[in-house]
C-alpha cells in the first residue's frame, strides 16, 4: 500500500512535511547533544567524596580542588565550588552550594525545553497537514466532476502520512525528554547529598 505513495513528491508538495522534516533534524540534534552532556555530568558522588575526604585528611586541600576541577561531572563541580569557599561560615557556604546546584541543574536542563516543545507540537503540525491534504483531495474530487472514492483515495492516503510523520517526530522526543528529566533529577539529588556530606566533612576538619 505504502509502496504506491511517492514520498519525495509529497515532500515537495507539502510544506507541513518539510516543517516536520526540519523538526526531526532539530530533535535528533538536541537528543544527541543532551545525551552527551548528561552522560558527562554523571558520576559516583560517593567515590568523589571519598577521594576528596582522603585528600583533606592528608592536608591536601589544593589537590582536592584540582581533582574535582578536572572532572566534568556536576557533583564534582559542586564539591569543587564548596572547597573553594570552605573558609566561609557554614550558613554562607550552604547558600553558595545551593546556588551552584541551581547553576549545574540549569546547564543540564538547557535545550530540554526544545524536545518537550517538539513532542507537544509535532502531532498538531501533522494533523494540520492531514486536514490540508484532505481538503485538497476533496477539491480534486469536485473538480473531476465525479469518479467516486478512487479519485480521493490516494490523496487521503498521502494526507494521512502527515499525521504519521508528526507522531514519528513526537514520540521519540517525548520519550527522551522524560528520560533526560529523570536523569537530571537523579543528578540533582546526587548534588544535594554530596553538598550535605561535604558540609559535615568540612565542619569536622
Q: Which residue has the cell 507522531?
A: 167
Return the higher-pLDDT residue of 49 and 146. Answer: 49
pLDDT band for position 17 (50/70/90)?
Answer: confident
Residue 48 and residue 163 in contact, taking contact as beta carbons nearer than 8 Å = no
Give the model's pLDDT for residue 38. 93
Cα dihedral across residues 98, 102, 107, 112: positive or negative: positive
DSSP SS3 for 93: helix
**140 falls in which pLDDT band (50, 70, 90)?**
confident
Between CA 140 and CA 147 the distance in angstroms is 10
- Kindly report the pTM of this predicted structure: 0.81
Which pLDDT belongs to residue 53?
87
Instruction: Tell me 4's DSSP state.
Output: G
Interval 51-69 mean pLDDT: 88
Weakest-pLDDT range from 8-17, 131-140, 179-188: 8-17
Position 46 scores a pLDDT of 87
Inter-axis angle of helices 61-69 and 74-84, nearest 10:
150
Instruction: Give, in degrees to the nearest 5, the angle at Cα 21 between 15 and 24.
Output: 145
Q: Read off the pLDDT of residues 144-156 as tens digits, 9 standing for 90 and up.
A: 665 566 667 767 7
Calpha distance 88→181 (Å, rounded): 33
pLDDT in tens, 99-138: 999 999 999 998 899 999 999 999 999 898 888 888 877 7
Q: What is the mean pLDDT of residues 13-31?
A: 87
The predicted pLDDT at position 10 comes to 56
H or E element that contains 32: helix 15-41
Q: What is the pLDDT of residue 37?
A: 92
Q: CA torsion, points 73, 76, 82, 85, in degrees to nearest 10?
A: -90
Amino acid at each position: 500500500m505504502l509502496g504506491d505513495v511517492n514520498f519525495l513528491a509529497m515532500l515537495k508538495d507539502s510544506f507541513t512535511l518539510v516543517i516536520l522534516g526540519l523538526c526531526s533534524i532539530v530533535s535528533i540534534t538536541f537528543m544527541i547533544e543532551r545525551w552527551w552532556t548528561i552522560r558527562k555530568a554523571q558520576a559516583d558522588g560517593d567515590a568523589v567524596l571519598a577521594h576528596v575526604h582522603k585528600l583533606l585528611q592528608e592536608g591536601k586541600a589544593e589537590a582536592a580542588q584540582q581533582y574535582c576541577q578536572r572532572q566534568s561531572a556536576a557533583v564534582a563541580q559542586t564539591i569543587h565550588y564548596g572547597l573553594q569557599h570552605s573558609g566561609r561560615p557554614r550558613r554562607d557556604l550552604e547558600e553558595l552550594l545551593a546556588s551552584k546546584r541551581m547553576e549545574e541543574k540549569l546547564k543540564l536542563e538547557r535545550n530540554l525545553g526544545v524536545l518537550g516543545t517538539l513532542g507537544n507540537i509535532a502531532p498538531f503540525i501533522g494533523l494540520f497537514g492531514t486536514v490540508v491534504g484532505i481538503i485538497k483531495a476533496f477539491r480534486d474530487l469536485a473538480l473531476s466532476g465525479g469518479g467516486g472514492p478512487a479519485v480521493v483515495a490516494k490523496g487521503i492516503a498521502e494526507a494521512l502520512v502527515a499525521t504519521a510523520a508528526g507522531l514519528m517526530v513526537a514520540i521519540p522526543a517525548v520519550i527522551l525528554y522524560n528520560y533526560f528529566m529523570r536523569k537530571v533529577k537523579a543528578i540533582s539529588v546526587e548534588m544535594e547529598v554530596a553538598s550535605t556530606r561535604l558540609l559535615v566533612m568540612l565542619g569536622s576538619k
